Chain A
Amino acid sequence: MPKTRFTQIGRAIPRREDRRLLTGNGRYVDDIEIPGALHACFVRSPHPHARIVRIDAKAALAMPGVAAVLTGADLAQWTTPLRVAPPIEGLHPVEMTTLPVDKVRFHGDPVACVIARDRYLAEDAAERVEVEYAPLPAVANADQALAEGTALVDESLPSNLVSEQRFSTGDVFARRREAHRVVESAFSQHRQTHLPIETRGCAALWDEGREHLTLHIGSQVPHPLRTQLAARMRLSESQVTISSLDVGGGFGQKIALYREELTVAAASRHLRRPVRWREDRMENLLAASHAREELCRTRAAVTDDGRLLGLELEILEDFGAYCFYPANYLARVVAMILTGPYKVSDYAFVVRVVLTNKCGSGPMRAPMSITSWVMEGTMDAIARELKLDPLEVRRRNMVAAAELPYTMPTGEVIADITPRETLEAAVTRVEYAQFRERQAAARREGRYLGLGLCSVVESTTYGSRFYKAAGIPGSGHEAAWVRIEPSGAVNASLGLGASGQGYETAFSQVVGEGLGVDPASVRIHLGNTDVAPYGMGSRGARGGTAGGATLFLCARDANEKMLAIAAKLLGFDSSEGLRMVEGKVVREVLGERIDTGISFAQLARTAYLDPTALPAGMAPGLDFSRTYDPPPMTYSNAAHVCEVELDVETGAVRILRYVVAEDCGTVLSPVVVEGQQHGAVAMGLSGALLEHMLYDEAAQNITGSLADYLVATATDLPRFEILPMHTPSRGNPVGTKGMAEGGVMGAIGAISNAVNDALAPFGVVAERQPLSPDYLRSLLRGKTP
């Protein structure tokens, strides 16, 4: 990273996106007017697992205004199946058609698509599509999936075990034998869903004359989506435009090309009419994408003073019925980075992923969300078992600044992180020792307070080398362009997909920094694949690190050329000593800045309109593009502390205090970063306490409304106290380390540890989430302090 101090990067500038969003002038998919568009509605399976015997659409098609009823057989003619088959050891290849042809695999699986004049009519017609099913035995959970003689969710596989991976380094058995104690813990995370307030949706326009498809859609990854859509419709990537303007939240749900979207695109081409679909909330809950259902067990071999000698991890993930992603991909990251800030060299894991008759899983903000809970819950279990202070156990095992860069047992390297510093800052803020006194006093009054610690090491930005090593096809690089127009106006773009992260603000600061101009003069263009460069989009927490760095480097290229032009105009041999400051070229002589009288706009004019004035051999114009591939992995870190009060009579948990010390390096926009910190912690707490995508024993989804799927409201969440820290990454041109998922990881662990601290006098431990009142009561029932 450059040694000069930033003047635009890191400034707290209110967001540029806000005005249109505050006044009702945003353009979300559904806000785009498309004259003559037909509306789609999907007929969905009421069964978790059944053969499709017959689909009779006669009654629906007879309704005036109904244009078509499409089935899996239709779509199979017009589109290719999705094959997920990366060459990864232990992972079975899988394939799915656009719509099911012969059997449905979960409650909510789409079996037909009605296309009609409006959505009301489409729903009327959908009720009249008769589908005859022959129900099959359903696989409702991971245990059933692995049971002998169970039904096969995917009949092309030998069993429901779609992926199994093992790893071992050192000798965990030897460490167990020599340990003072072997501490076993379990962590069961429940099924959740992303729940963007804007559900999925798209509008497809097929231009028959130009043979071109435009798909309006809220997408986190416009270009990879285009690649997929073109391939599956047997089109060239030059025949497809993806346009994603404002997006009402994504959280990982708006990455994959879903079957509904492909169906709508194919329908538009088939009918030669614009077709649009807006998912309703019930569909979004039942059938968009789920996440997080996994059971982890750890076995920690420890010394009598709580030092970790060896660690073993087992993960069993319930991935649902369909794989839109390689099934091993989420859980394996958990196993790879589990040890986080703790020193241990003997480590082994087994990661198993099974298919069940439930909605398919995918990455949800912090796909590795359970990691910190598992590691920090293990730390707490060690403390409980050895009757040590949990803070002290952490201190004894945590890597110190002098030991960095530190190589985790899996080979992952952490550098430029500050786990001890964030932990100490957070416990100082909550006055840890005094809390223990307050806790003891409260217990004497029959009130149960708990404090939970959770350190987070967040894998934010995956470089191409990480993907290569993991066997996953794809790249971690990002792309950007910067264009300075003849008037001096600045346009810039990159391949990310915004869904609320304030990119237009933060990246205008990055470009402003790189160019030496006011960010207000920079306009960031996102989401249209004809405009933006081919980038890898927004997932993980790569936006600031990969995107910010690429754009900064690109703006520096522009800056360099402009200063070279300035040098020529000033009659200098080189641009050394020249700088662009606030849109003016200055000369730095012995620490003094001297105005040269040349402006940014003048240079732009010259570059375009007076090419003969340019240095010899320089091409006219100011048009720059750049790609950048970040290091294999970038990590940031944080420490979370949560204080709760548990009402032991009702099982209700109230959060009294929440502190986060987070070190995400250089911050592009402190405004945006703080918002992301709040949002991530909120999502973690909401999931750990309230949200639960529940299926019954027959694999029927019983969570079809927001009265069932409970998301935290303003009265459920505390005020968050953030302690920002900024140790830059030396591996990144701007020094950013990424953030925005770690808050979820920390919250899940901190709240669980806090509740278990409150439960401690009763001798019980909560090993699963959600930490619902009835679950906590079931632990407390019959117990006394």
Chain B
Amino acid sequence: MKPAPFRYHSPGTLDEALALLAEHGAGAKVLAGGQSLGPMMNMRLAQPDALVDINAIAGLDYVREHEKTIEIGALTRHHAIATSPLVRAACPLLAEAARQIGHYAIRQRGTIGGSLAHADPAAQFPLACATLGAEITAAGAGRTRTIAASEFFLSLMSTALEPEEIIVSVTLPKAPTSEGQAYVQFSRRRGDFAIVALAATVRPDAGGHIDQVRLGVGGATDRPMVLAELADCTRGEKADSGWAARLAKAAYDAVAPIDTPRVPAEFRRELVHVLTRRVLVTALERARR
């Protein structure tokens, strides 16, 4: 389990990195934390001609607060996101998801940009970003563009990113104080990829009725699924356990999960049902605090 040969580049600036990607085309891979790419290369499942290591590029590792959003640099490590007071206050779902990525040592190296670009359908950040309506900013040669998370994830490990583009930051809406957020996942062991994960934000109105709900399912299909219409349909309902149960049943009916040798589809569907109810109840409780 040793990687195949590759050319190694460690550009000091984003422009240099973009130039290298343009030069190598699809044969090059961006190396950020390397916690997913590394295993794939050691197993020779990935054999890029060149690696463009972006770790030496300054100014990509930050969490910034704006009026209505927070912005996170692509090289920000999972551990920094999980422990950032700003993220925990403004975007608790993201911090909660970050805490559940892999293990302590993995979280020290892994980056949010890398996780989004890798687009594992069972990973935490793609689900959290899709559910929260994040925007992903990518730089290419001579241009920078912003892609909505809902349009970013195309299928299993495939994104809207062009080969010569690099994610530079992610922007997420700040949660209003009336909103409760929760992330739950079911995996065989702590730190494993989720078999099914659920992310939710719940905003009840002053009268205790549902004002806004966002609900996302990860691990069940080839990309994170946001159940926007289902959630919207419950607007105005009384925010209680009955609402959570009904929406959970609707999610169970709506999601047609993948079937794999280790995890049958019906089991995944049942998890969608149970975890949807649990994530909604938790988010609602947090909204009331």
A residues contacting B by CB (< 8 A) are: 119-120, 123-124, 127, 280-282, 649-652, 690, 692, 694, 696, 702, 704-705, 707-708, 710, 712-713, 715-716, 772-774, 777-778, 781
Contact = CB atoms under 8 A, between A and B. Distances in A.
A781 B273 CA distance: 13
Interface stretch (B79-87, B160-168, B262-270): B262-270
Contacts of A713: 189-191
Given A702-B261, A773-B267, A716 B189 contact: yes
A773 B188 contact: yes
A280 B3 CA distance: 13
Interface in B248-289: 261-264, 266-267, 270-271, 274-275
B188 A280 contact: no
B192 A774 contact: no
B193 A707 contact: yes
B198 to A, nearest CB: 12
Contacts of B270: 649-650, 777, 781
B186 interface: yes
25 contacts: A120-B3, A123-B4, A127-B4, A127-B44, A282-B1, A282-B43, A649-B270, A650-B186, A650-B270, A651-B267, A692-B262, A694-B262, A696-B261, A702-B262, A705-B39, A705-B43, A707-B192, A708-B262, A713-B189, A713-B190, A715-B189, A716-B189, A772-B188, A773-B188, A777-B270
Interface residues of B, number: 25
B267 A280 contact: no
Given A705-B43, A772-B188, A694 B5 contact: no
Interface string B1-29: 11111000000000000000000000000
A119 B2 contact: yes
Nearest to B39: A705
A334 to B, nearest CB: 28
A650 B2 contact: no
Nearest to B193: A707
Given A120-B2, A124-B4, A777-B267, A690 B43 contact: no
Contacts of B43: 282, 704-705
A116 to B, nearest CB: 11
**A contact face: mostly helix, strand, loop, or mixed:** loop
A694 B261 contact: yes
Given A702-B261, A713-B190, A773-B267, 13 more contacts: A123-B2, A124-B5, A127-B44, A280-B1, A649-B270, A650-B186, A650-B270, A652-B186, A690-B188, A713-B189, A716-B189, A773-B188, A774-B262
Contacts of B1: 123, 280-282
A690 B189 contact: yes
A671 B274 CA distance: 44
A708 B188 CA distance: 10
A650 B274 contact: yes
B-side interface mostly: loop
Contacts of A708: 262
B274 A649 contact: yes
A779 to B, nearest CB: 12
Contacts of A652: 186
Contacts of B261: 694, 696, 702
A710 B188 contact: yes
Contacts of B5: 120, 124
A650 B271 contact: yes
Contacts of B2: 119-120, 123
A713 B190 CA distance: 8
Q: Which of A280, A281, A708, A774 has the most CB of B within 10 A?
A: A774
A456 to B, nearest CB: 26
A708 B193 CA distance: 11
A781 B264 CA distance: 13
A649 B2 CA distance: 42
A280 B264 CA distance: 30
A685 to B, nearest CB: 12
B248 to A, nearest CB: 11
Nearest to A770: B188
B53 to A, nearest CB: 19
Contacts of A124: 4-5
Contacts of A692: 262
Nearest to A704: B43
Contacts of B193: 707
A151 B263 CA distance: 30
Contacts of A649: 270, 274
A124 B2 CA distance: 9
A586 B103 CA distance: 59
Contacts of A119: 2
A707 B267 CA distance: 19
Residue of A123, A694, A712, A773 contacting most chain B CB atoms (<10 Å): A773
Nearest to B277: A649
A123 B43 CA distance: 11
Contact of B44 (A123, A650, A715): A123
B267 A774 contact: yes
Contacts of B3: 120
Nearest to A119: B2
A286 to B, nearest CB: 12
B189 A774 contact: no
A120 B42 CA distance: 10
Nearest to A708: B262
Contacts of B267: 651, 773-774, 777-778
Contacts of A772: 188
